[in-house]
Amino acid sequence: MSKLFRAVIMGPPGSGKGTISERIAHSFGLKHLSSGDFVRENIAAKTEAGVQAKTYIKKGLLVPDHVMTRLLLPRLEEMTKYSWLLDGFPRTLAQAEALNSACDLDVAINLNIPLETLKERLRHRWIHPPSGRVYNMCFNPPRVQGIDDITGEPLIQQEDDRPEALVARLRHYKDVAKPVTDFYKAKGILYTFSDTETDRIWPYINTLLSTKIPTIQSDARCASTH
């Protein structure tokens, strides 16, 4: 059984987690697991956790740790045969500890992007909610403004992406994120990337993962030849 690779990607709203996760999933064949997608699936399926989560999301709040953990850990149980990249979880120390009790992580990627850059990016972010596809009028615009490239359905801008909403989200993010990055720094697996452009960060993340992932698979190869 080849050793699997498990990573999380963290960063404030608009830092490029989704954008970079797609590139990682594509380049390294990892499963991209998004906690936001799991939440939306549960809300759509009207599961108990989904119904609870919806009441918090409607108020623009994070879902409570015990609800989020109960929703996410069983999904990770289904992924024991896969290498994956988890996006959007953990967001709190309690979530990081719950994840740590369920599985070992190889890398925690942390995106450190300036506030002004986040504001500018989210001002131009458009999304296609049914698919979660993300566009940006300055960075990766749709072929036709306001229209999803694949389905032709309309794109929307999220209420949460307005600059005034972002400031509140960022303040809350800063409070809850530091204990999580400290947790992974103490475990020696935190890698922080600071820049204003994804295209400048991507080569460093690509190099880091290229050094990690083949090692794991080559270990597996030598294990399997003995």
Ligand X SMILES: Nc1nc2c(ncn2[C@@H]2O[C@H](COP(=O)(O)OP(=O)(O)OP(=O)(O)O)[C@@H](O)[C@H]2O)c(=O)[nH]1
Does position 68 bind ligand ADP by CB under 6 A? yes
Does position 21 bind ligand ADP by CB under 6 A? no
In the chain, the amino acid numbered 194 is S
Picked from ligand ADP, ligand X, none, the partner binding residue 68 (CB below 5 to 8 A depending on kind) is ligand ADP
- Shortest Å distance, C-beta 85 to ligand ADP: 14
Cβ contacts of residue 78 below 8 Å, gap of 6+? none
Burial class (CB in 10 A: 0-12, 13-18, 19+), 207: exposed
91 with 72: CB under 8 angstroms?
no
191 with 209: CB under 8 angstroms?
no
CA distances from 164 to 16, 89, 119, 136, 159 (A): 19, 24, 9, 19, 10
Find residue 128's DSSP bridge partners. Answer: 133
Of the candidate spans 54-62, 75-83, 103-111, 136-144, the one that interacts with ligand ADP by CB under 6 A turns out to be 54-62
In the chain, the amino acid numbered 220 is A
Rounded distance, CA 167 to CA 152, Å? 32
- Choosing from 19, 35, 52, 198, the residue that interacts with ligand ADP (CB under 6 A) is 35
Q: Site map for ligand X, 92-131, x if CB under 6 A? A: -----------------------------x---x------
For ligand ADP, which is the closer residue by CB, 57 or 208? 57
Give, as ranges, the residues between 139 and 178 that touch ligand X (CB under 6 A).
Answer: 139-140
- Choosing from 6, 17, 32, 40, the residue that interacts with ligand X (CB under 6 A) is 17
Residue numbering of the annotated binding site for AMP: 35, 40, 61-63, 88-91, 95, 169
